[in-house]
Amino acid sequence: MIQTRGSGILLHITSLPSPYGVGDFGPAAYRFVDALERGRQHYWQILPLNPTETAYAHSPYSSPSAFAANILLISPEMLVREGYLRKSELEPAPGFPEERAAYEAAAWYRERLFAAAYERFRHSGPDRRFETFCDGTGWWLDDHALFVALKGHFRGQAWNRWPEDIRARETGALKEMRELLDDRIRKEKFLQYIAARQWSALRRYCTERGIQVIGDIPIYVAYDSVDVWAHPGIFKLDEDLRPTVVAGVPPDIFSRTGQLWGNPVYDWAALRERGYDWWAGRIARSAELYDLFRIDHFRAFADYYEVPAGDATAERGTWVDGPGEDFFEALARKHPCFPIVAEDLGANTPAVQALLDRFDFPGMKILLFAFGEGIARTPHIPHNYVHNLICYTGTHDNNTARGWFEEEASEEDKERFFTYIGREVAADEVHRELVRLAMTSVARACIVPMQDVLGLGAAARMNYPSTTTGNWVWRMTPEEFAGAPFEWLRGLTELTGRG
């Protein structure tokens, strides 16, 4: 349960300004924390920190590892400060675009820097902190580093195309590959160590300034991931280690054939027999990384939709009961306090509501959903809020506030919006009115995407669900950051008792 009244900003790390292609854990992140403190904000919400891949358009919700960090977030500037690079080695930096993330170019540029940093590390003698990190995280790091090395060795092929003995994780074959790829494995462990150090330092900086980080856990994992390769027994796979069913959502008014996500589905019966050990580890890892964490598609713990593998659409899927209360009771025995935020958007069924009530998890409400025909009764309108929830103007999956008004809201929606706020406003004022509604609501926490603080239009949208191009690339430019209205935000925060 969220105990105190506060507010914050949603901005993923990759959306921060940086001269190196994507936002990272470097100086701009610290300046952003300073700006949050100046604006009297108490939360910084980010998207998943897991590695991303070209094959999934660098979506942070489709990762090859549920436990590792994205090494693209390592700051070159901080590597210089830490003594792993010389400043001269950062030059010449390519002319990366400021307004969008250039993942491929950033990865290419960083690879040269990472190689130089690793070589310096290799020749610097024993590092007790590195060895301690490897020992403490070996339960996930060993498999992850081997998986990364094998991916490189087999030229990026999916793990189910590797030789049979490696695909099936035969002990002798894995021992041989660990010896063959020892240096590549150690390099990946070094990069995970650096990412952990940089993120921990940034977290401490947040904590010292009274700012809590809200993270994000995607409910499912990618098939081509270390998680499925290393733990096939917890997924619904056939004898050839291929999914028998995959995740999705059924047809609705937005999609005639439903959404076919394609992720492997958990074998909850097998997980229950193991005491939900893999998920308990995932929760423990998230508690190391974040102060609170949102679980995406929370409904799947109550019931989830699975589609026969090989189907071209999600039309033939079925609903299956999830683990329900048993799962969270088992977690509570291992982690008495786990600060979960439930992404309960969409159909909030009685089973989902029962889980929220039983464990006192805060849910989410979205103001952009509030001004349709059922405005009086919708749970997204402030007059229907309860205290224990997080109110958003929108999330990474929504248009910006201004973009919603200019491109999506009907004339009737706009009229209801004007009536609700008591006056008509122009498009360039809509974001401030929605932020004011969020701030003045009874919700204990409200989160505003940085795009809505800046009043940006649809071009600044982060993600278009069910599409595979043009997503996850928006970045705040240095000029936008410099001109952001944090003093206005501070005044509104103090006025509404959130400061």
Question: Is residue 312, in this structure, part of any structural domain at all?
Answer: yes
Q: Tens of pLDDT along 146-157?
A: 999 999 999 999
pLDDT at 125: 83
Q: Which of 37, 296, 306, 433 is catalytic?
A: 296
**Are the beta carbons of 211 and 226 closer than 8 angstroms?**
no
Question: Is residue 161, in this structure, part of any structural domain at all?
Answer: no
Dmax over CA atoms of the chain, in Å, equals 72
- pTM, two decimals, is 0.97
Question: Is residue 355, in this structure, part of any structural domain at all?
Answer: yes
Active-site annotation holds for 37: no
Kindly provide the b/e burial profile for residues 290-321, where b requires at least 16 CB atoms within 10 angstroms of the residue's own CB: bbbbbbbbbbbbbebbbbebebeebeebeeee
> Which of 33, 18, 96 is CA-nearest to residue 476?
18
First to last CA, the chain: 19
- Which spans in 444-497 are helix H? 450-454, 478-483, 486-495
* CB atoms closer than 10 angstroms to residue 164: 9
> Which of 83, 85, 86, 73 is CA-nearest to residue 20?
73
Q: What are phi and psi of 423, to 5 degrees?
A: -165, 165
What one-character-per-residue DSSP string does 390-431 give? EEES--TTSPPHHHIIIII--HHHHHHHHHHHTS---GGGHH
Question: Is residue 146, in this structure, part of any structural domain at all?
Answer: no
Active-site annotation holds for 277: no
- The pair of structure tokens assigned to 449 is 């995407």
**Are the beta carbons of 493 and 7 closer than 8 angstroms?**
yes
What does DSSP say about strands 43-45 and 212-217: parallel, antiparallel, or unpaired? Answer: parallel
Q: Which of 343, 344, 452, 480 is catalytic?
A: 343
Residue 7: strand, helix, or coil: strand
Q: Which residue stretches of the chain have pLDDT < 50?
A: none
Question: Is residue 437, in this structure, part of any structural domain at all?
Answer: yes
CA distance 273 to 294: 26
Question: Is residue 330, in this structure, part of any structural domain at all?
Answer: yes
Question: Is residue 18, in this structure, part of any structural domain at all?
Answer: yes
**Are the beta carbons of 388 and 1 closer than 8 angstroms?**
yes
Domain of 42 in residue numbering reads as: 6-71+206-496
Number of domains observed in the structure of the chain: 1
pLDDT at 3: 82
Q: Residue 381: give its domain's CATH number.
A: 3.20.20.80
Q: Which of 89, 165, 397, 406 is catalytic?
A: 397
Question: Is residue 21, in this structure, part of any structural domain at all?
Answer: yes
Active-site annotation holds for 296: yes
State the Cα angle at 499 between 29 and 363, rounded to 5°.
Answer: 80
